[in-house]
Amino acid sequence: MKVALPKDLEQEAKLAKRSYAELCRQQRVFNARNRIIGGDTQAWDIQVHDQRIKEATEKARHETFAAELRQNDKIRCILDDREKRDRKYLCRAINDFQQNCQNPETRREFDLSDPLGLRKELPARQSDRDFRNTISGMQKFMGEDLNFRERKKFQEEQMREWSLQQHREWEKARADQKFAEDHHTQTRLKFDETARHLQKLESTTRKAGCAAVKEFNKNQAMESAGRRKQEKRQEQEDNVAEISNLLRGDLLSENPQQAASALGPHRVVPDRWKGMSREQLEDIRLAQKQQIQEKLRLQEEARQRDLDWDRRRVQRARVELLDERRQQRQQRDQRRALDRGNLSLATERRLQKKYMDEIHANQPTEDYFAQFNTRSR
């Protein structure tokens, strides 16, 4: 009857654990999809999230432009600066993430395509205590694992370092993302505060102008009322003087001086007046011509001002149209460059496949492939 010793049970448990680890490694290595196409899904999710945020921001910006068309002339510069700064920060964040978190050295399958892999490899055997001496190499047999404790301790320390490094990288990426979001929020709040301040300043200026116009109109009304009172009083005094002159003067005299009014040199008595002189008629015609010329000048200035505003409005619309067309051309050029790159890659792949088919003319059988990938190492 065979007795199972504790040492044998421990050895069997170790072998079972090693066999299970080997099976798990075979599942990872023999899965061609994860080995070739595998990538950082978290980074892709972050990029998709950023793209959605960018699309939502663009949609909200277009809707805001449609609703606030009357205020575009005042806050266009602020919105353009904010858009350029946001696009610059987003591109910078994407480039930093690609440079810091998507390097070729950080990929799991980099050791399969490392051009310096052969130089980095160690010799097949360095000593009897070399941990790379496997059972199939016939250089280290069962029960001869002399450096098991040191190897296990080293592996645990290595796993701990890897876990800490991944945790630090994750914390750093999360802090950078939070900083970028906070900076973006602060920038938007700052520009919104500036826009509100400009709107408030405009409202205050408009109110002050209305108050000044109201005060000016009030003063004009008071002056007009005072002037009318003065004219009425003066008219009464003139009427009294005229009655006195009629009582004392010669009403039927043919002297032109008798038609002069006591109210001023430009006033005459209608019932004594014999008509205007030639000089007075010329002065009246000259004053009428000057008034006509002044009215024509004011009309020409108003027409030029309207034409200037129309020209500015047309120029602004043309600039916006040219900007939109330039963006469309840039997007079309980018799509064309991407199509050309894809076509070039497809052509290279087709030529490479054709070349490989010509080189490997002899097709191997299933027995040839059956001898590979029996183990994960």
Residue pLDDT, tens place only, 216-271: 888 888 888 888 888 888 888 888 887 777 666 655 555 667 667 777 767 777 77
In a domain, 80, yes or no: yes
Tally of domains in the chain: 2
Do 186 and 242 lie in one domain? The reply is yes
In a domain, 132, yes or no: no
In a domain, 210, yes or no: yes
In a domain, 308, yes or no: yes
Query: Which pLDDT score, from 0 to 100, does residue 82 have?
Result: 86
In a domain, 125, yes or no: no
In a domain, 120, yes or no: no
Evaluate whether 141 touches 135 at the Cβ level (below 8 Å). Answer: yes
Do 193 and 329 lie in one domain? The reply is no
Locate tokens 């490989």: which residue?
Answer: 356
Do 214 and 304 lie in one domain? The reply is no
Say what the pTM is.
Answer: 0.23
Do 173 and 219 lie in one domain? The reply is yes
CA–CA distance from 116 to each of 41, 112, 123, 124, 193 (Å)?
A: 28, 10, 15, 17, 56
Do 180 and 263 lie in one domain? The reply is yes
Query: Which pLDDT score, from 0 to 100, does residue 128 have?
Result: 61
Do 209 and 265 lie in one domain? The reply is yes
Do 75 and 159 lie in one domain? The reply is yes
Do 237 and 196 lie in one domain? The reply is yes
Do 345 and 306 lie in one domain? The reply is yes
Domain assignment of residue 207, given as a range = 63-104+153-251+258-269
Query: Which pLDDT score, from 0 to 100, does residue 170 have?
Result: 92
Do 199 and 160 lie in one domain? The reply is yes
In a domain, 136, yes or no: no
φ, ψ dihedrals at 134, nearest 5°: -85, 175
3-state helix, strand, coil split of the chain in percent (to 5) is 80, 0, 20
Quote the CA–CA distance of 336 and 181 in Å, as a whole number: 33
φ, ψ dihedrals at 260, nearest 5°: -70, 135
Query: Which pLDDT score, from 0 to 100, does residue 180 have?
Result: 87
Do 262 and 331 lie in one domain? The reply is no
In a domain, 227, yes or no: yes
Do 164 and 219 lie in one domain? The reply is yes
Quote the CA–CA distance of 201 and 22 in Å, as a whole number: 74
Which portions of the chain are predicted below pLDDT 70?
A: 1-4, 32-43, 123-147, 246-256, 258-259, 265, 274-275, 361-364, 373, 375-377
Query: Which pLDDT score, from 0 to 100, does residue 112 have?
Result: 78
Three-state DSSP class for 135? coil
